[in-house]
Amino acid sequence: MHKVLLLLAVCWVGVATTALADCRVHRGQHVVLYSTTDDPSVLMWDSRARLREYHAASFDVAQAMLPHALLVSPGTHADVLACISSNVVSPLFLSPDDAVGVIVTSGSLRGVARWVLGSDVRLMHAATHR
Amino acid sequence: MQQAQIDMEELLRLQIDEENSLRGYLLTHDPFYRSEYRSAVAGYDATQSAIRQTLQSQHLTTSGKLLADYTHLQDEWRATVARPLLAHPHERLQELDKRNKLFSDYETLTAGAIRRQLASTGEQLARSTQVQLDRSSYVRAAWVLVFGLLAIVFNVYRSRLNRELEEERAVTKILQRAFRSESIPLPHCEVGSAYLSATSHIAVGGDVFDVYRLSENRALLLIADISGKGVDAAVLTAFVKFMVRAIALRDSAPAEILSEFNVVLAKAVGDPYLFASMFVGVLDTDTFCLTYASAGHDAAYLRGQDGVMPLKVTGPVLGVMEEPFGTETVELEAGDTLILATDGLTEVRNPAGEQLFDQGAMELIAEASPEAQPLADEIVAKVRAWAGRSVPDDLAVLVVRVLGPEAAHA
């Protein structure tokens, strides 16, 4: 029993370490939401699974999922709650992207926690921190 | 491929124009932006059609499907986002914005995927073209190198061969000149001679003639054509000349000279493939009686008042068999001319391939100058003219013109 627990602990540490090591942002960091697509608004998803499904799905499926998303204006501030490295895969991506859990710290959606794509978050400089 | 990439950038620009025109209209309600939107739509449709044709012609099926999705998305965006907003610019709804975002994301990513594939295919094409160019360049360079080396080797070999042949030709000509008789004056006669060397190096060979006074009133007249060419044949001419002289000094009957020389030739030279045609005459310079024997030598003529006639052959060529040779006697008169030549006279061909033969040679002699040396020179000149650019064989000409006893007193 001890051995199994030890093995699980090692696995968890390994996965967590890898995820943390490769993530573009880390818990507690202040970020700005800004999309790299032609529309810089950012979709925020109510679960990490939904974020993943949205990017992996066909257009029609993705469209059907839109009620589960919130749209925030570009430049909205947020704090990082979690980051899972290379967690979002899409046939249209060159490489997998991170899944980042954030809590909005500005605007009308202040205090709302959601999941966003790694490429939609930009680290804020120290001078712009609240 | 490059044009497709350029068109793809243009398509994205037009798509942004569509969206910006829509945004401009929503913000200002200015009809100008509506017309801008329409022209962007028209440009977008034309450009995507051009890209689709390029992708089909290049068999880029994956990119073709992506473009179809992309076009479908744009159509849907127009139907579900753009047109409702153009119709009701005051009613911007949250769901409509989210849908706009969805379209934007998909289109951006799809366009990125198409661009990547176009770039990758372009690079692949450029790489494979470069490889083929490199390969063909290497092969071409290798061939040039091989042919260059061969040409150098061939030129060196040819130069050496030419030099050797030139040297041999020079030696042969020196030998011929050394062993050929100078014009020896004969009483009551005029002697002329001429020699024409073959233009080909390997054809210079064994023609020999000689005029030798055996006594006060007897002269040996010799002309021969020895088989073989080059230095060996030229050396043999010396052997022929002095051996015939030696035999003639002992026995001046022409047939006996030929018979004895025939035996000596076989024994002394020892070459079973060697043969020679020879005309030996002994001229009495007092009576102008010519006795001669001809071992297969048919280029001998007598020009008299009745025209030109050939002197008949009296036996086979030397070196073939031991047979007795006949002797002929001709009584010459003042003005008669004896013309002895080698086969370079009768066998010469003009550029059209026509051979001179005996008849031509006799016509040529008949028309030539009466004096001995000009006659010999004319024969050579006419043979050279008949042959054209190249003289295939040597030609020796010996001319003896009887002047008569009065000439001596004159």
Contact yes or no for A38 and B100 at CB 8 A: no
Summarised one tens digit per residue, pLDDT across range B176-207 is 666 566 667 889 999 998 888 776 655 556 78
B102 touches chain A (CB under 8 A): yes
Tell the burial category of B300 from Cβ atoms under 10 Å away from its Cβ (0-12, 13-18, 19+): buried
Q: How confident is the model at residue B275 (pLDDT cuts 50, 70, 90)?
A: confident
Distant-in-sequence, close-in-space partners of B316: CB < 8 Å, separation ≥ 6: B295, B296, B323
Residues of chain A falling short of pLDDT 70? 1-21, 125-130
Token pair for residue B269? 């030279």
Q: How far apart are CA B274 and CA B265, in angstroms?
A: 9
Task: Give me the pLDDT at residue B202, please.
Answer: 55
Cβ atoms of B365 and B379 closer than 8 Å: yes
- Smallest Cβ distance to B116: which of A36, A63, A94? A94
Domain boundaries, chain B: 2-137, 182-409
Summarised one tens digit per residue, pLDDT across range B155-184 is 888 888 888 877 777 776 676 666 566 667
Mean pLDDT for the stretch of residues B314-319: 90
Query: What part of A 13-72 touches B (C-beta under 8 Å)?
Result: 35-39, 41, 43, 59, 62-63, 66-67, 69, 71
Predicted-assembly ipTM surpassing the 0.90 threshold: no
Summarised one tens digit per residue, pLDDT across range B17-33 is 888 888 788 878 888 88
- Smallest Cβ distance to A90: which of B15, B69, B109? B109
Task: Give me the pLDDT at residue B136, please.
Answer: 80
B63 touches chain A (CB under 8 A): no
Task: Give me the pLDDT at residue B203, please.
Answer: 52
Distance from CA of B103 to the nearest CA of A (A): 9
Distance from CA of B98 to the nearest CA of A (A): 6
Measuring CA to CA, how many Å separate B372 from each of B2, B11, B117, B192, B210?
90, 103, 97, 5, 15
Q: How far apart are CA B191 and CA B401, in angstroms?
A: 6
Summarised one tens digit per residue, pLDDT across range B111-122 is 888 888 788 877
Distance from CA of A27 to the nearest CA of B (A): 26
B79 touches chain A (CB under 8 A): no
Angle between helices B230-250 and B94-179 (to 10 degrees): 10
Handedness of CA A79, A83, A89, A92 (dihedral sign): positive
- Cα–Cα nearest to B234, from B169, B296, B183: B169
Distance from CA of A84 to the nearest CA of B (A): 21
Which position has the higher pLDDT, B316 or B93?
B316
B101 touches chain A (CB under 8 A): yes
Beta bridge partners of B276: B226, B318
Cβ atoms of B240 and B226 closer than 8 Å: yes
Token pair for residue B306? 């009745």
The answer, yes or no, to whether residue B251 has pLDDT greater than 60, is: yes
**Over chain B, what is the mean pLDDT?**
85
The answer, yes or no, to whether residue B90 has pLDDT greater than 60, is: yes
Contact yes or no for A39 and B100 at CB 8 A: yes
- Smallest Cβ distance to B105: which of A37, A67, A91? A37
Measuring CA to CA, how many Å separate B56 from each of B25, B49, B65, B68, B71?
37, 11, 10, 12, 15
B19 interaction partners in chain A (CB closer than 8 Å): 38-39
Token pair for residue B47? 């450009």
Task: Give me the pLDDT at residue A76, please.
Answer: 94
What stretch of H or E contains B89?
none
Q: How far apart are CA B381 and CA B62, in angstroms?
A: 86
Contact yes or no for A35 and B95 at CB 8 A: no
B367 touches chain A (CB under 8 A): no
> Hey, is B122 helix, strand or coil?
helix
Measuring CA to CA, how many Å separate B46 from each of B5, B40, B52, B59, B134?
15, 10, 10, 20, 39
CATH of the domain spanning B182-409, picked from 3.40.920.10, 3.90.1150.10, 3.60.40.10, 1.10.8.60: 3.60.40.10
Compute how many other C-beta atoms are within 10 angstroms of the C-beta atom of residue B217.
14
Q: How confident is the model at residue B4 (pLDDT cuts 50, 70, 90)?
A: confident
Contact yes or no for A59 and B16 at CB 8 A: no
Domain boundaries, chain A: 2-128
- Smallest Cβ distance to A71: which of B19, B76, B97? B97
Q: How far apart are CA B222 and CA B185, in angstroms?
A: 15
Q: What is the DSSP string of B161-205?
A: HHHHHHHHHHHHHHHHHHHSPP----TTEEEEEEEE--SSGGG-E
- Smallest Cβ distance to A37: which of B73, B108, B116? B108
Task: Give me the pLDDT at residue B117, please.
Answer: 79
